[in-house]
Structure 1
Amino acid sequence: MDVPLWFVLLVVGVLGFKLIRPPWWLVVVLLLGGFLLADSLLAPVIDTAISK
């Protein structure tokens, strides 16, 4: 069975939000921070650290 990655991330995000109940500002900060880090000079360093 092939499940799209976006669907898995959506389900995990919705369940995590319902169970943990983080504040909205924290969700926004984490999403924006991840988006900005992905386009920064640190992206290759993070990628190599994660893929090892």
Structure 2
Amino acid sequence: MDVPLWLALIVVGYLGIKLIRPPWWLVAVFLLGGYLIADSLLAPAINTVVK
């Protein structure tokens, strides 16, 4: 069974928000921070650490 990545991320995100109940400002900070870091000079360094 092949599940698209976007669908898996939506399901995991929805379950995480429902079960853990983080504050909405924290979710927004993580999303905005991840978006900004992905387009910064730190992206190659983070990519090597993650792989």
TM-score by length of 2: 0.98
The corresponding residue for 1:23 is 23
**Structure 1 residue aligned with 2:38:** 38
Q: Percent identity?
A: 73
Task: Output the amino acid matched with 1:2.
Answer: D
Q: CA RMSD in A?
A: 0.4
| Separation (CA, whole Å) in 1 of partners of 2:15 and 2:47 | 26
Unaligned runs of 5+ residues in structure 1 are none
**Equivalents in 2 of 1:50, 1:44: separation in Å?**
10
Task: Please list the CA deviations of residues 1-52 of structure 1 after superposition, one character each: whole Å capped at 9, or x if unmatched.
Answer: 110000000000000000000001000000000000000000000000110x
Q: What SS class does the counterpart of residue 11 from structure 1 fall into? A: helix
TM-score (norm 1): 0.96
